[in-house]
Chains A and B, each alone.
Chain A
Amino acid sequence: DVVMTQSPLSLPVTLGQPASISCRSSQSLVYSDGNTYLNWFQQRPGQSPRRLFYNVSNRDSGVPDRFSGSGSGTDFTLKISRVEAEDVGVYYCMQGTHWPPWTFGQGTKVEIK
């Protein structure tokens, strides 16, 4: 099974400052079709998860452009250029290249300092 490892697990951030979350996979996530099936999700307190990015860097509709997804192979990053109060929550990466199983990272909790 592919293991997804996120860091840090807790990320206190000052409003208006940048934030960065790392996600590493135990195997390359490049599929035989050339795509990389790495997704990012946001889960605000008390809410269902919401997808932010698919295939590493494709932003979902309605996701603010202060969010960006990047990376390749086994190393991926979610960045927030300037954190806002509504960004508080837990962020998860998930791989869909080597399945089953589909696997999630442990989650990174973003909070305001």
Chain B
Amino acid sequence: EVQLVESGGGLVQPGGSLRLSCAASGFTFSNYWMIWVRQAPGKGLEWVANINQDGSEKYYVDSVKGRFTISRDNTKNSLYLQMTSLRAEDTAVYYCARGRDCGYWGQGNLVTVSS
């Protein structure tokens, strides 16, 4: 069974940093692109970042470029999102998903940026 379990969210002050993790199981992690998608409270879905199978290709939505870094560790079947210089508008539930077509999703992790 495919499972994606996010962790690392929480409350952080504006300008602060946070690292999200996504632990994958039930499939060959190194064979898939992985994606982060976020959803602000009461809003729709927004693509945040993608990474290819070996980590050599990374793409970001303009609003997070230079602040967020997507990475992966295929030996640990894990995906990461390092978030720095956080702003109030980054407050959202962050989901990791498998593949560029988002075939499977994690349960989501809430990040709240507030003083």
Contacts and interface: CB of A to CB of B under 8 A. Distances in A.
A37 B101 contact: yes
Nearest to A6: B44
A92 B37 CA distance: 13
A49 B94 CA distance: 12
Contacts of A94: 45, 47, 102
B24 to A, nearest CB: 15
Given A49-B95, A103-B47, 6 more contacts: A43-B45, A48-B95, A51-B103, A51-B104, A99-B50, A104-B46
Interface string B85-102: 000000000010000111
B41 to A, nearest CB: 13
Q: B45, B47, B104 — which one has the most chain A CB atoms within 10 A of its CB?
A: B45
A100 B100 contact: no
Contact of B103 (A37, A54, A99): A54
Given A41-B45, A92-B44, A101 B102 contact: no
A3 to B, nearest CB: 13
A50 B105 contact: yes
A32 to B, nearest CB: 15
13 contacts: A41-B102, A43-B45, A48-B107, A48-B108, A49-B45, A51-B101, A51-B104, A54-B101, A54-B103, A94-B47, A94-B102, A101-B62, A104-B44
Place the interface of chain B in its size category: 20 to 34
A43 B102 CA distance: 13
A106 interface: yes
Given A92-B45, A101-B47, A104-B47, A48 B105 contact: yes
A99 B106 contact: no
Interface string A36-72: 0101010100001111001100001000000000000
A107 to B, nearest CB: 4
B105 A102 contact: no
A51 B47 CA distance: 15
A103 B48 CA distance: 10
Interface string B1-43: 0000000000000000000000000000000000101000000
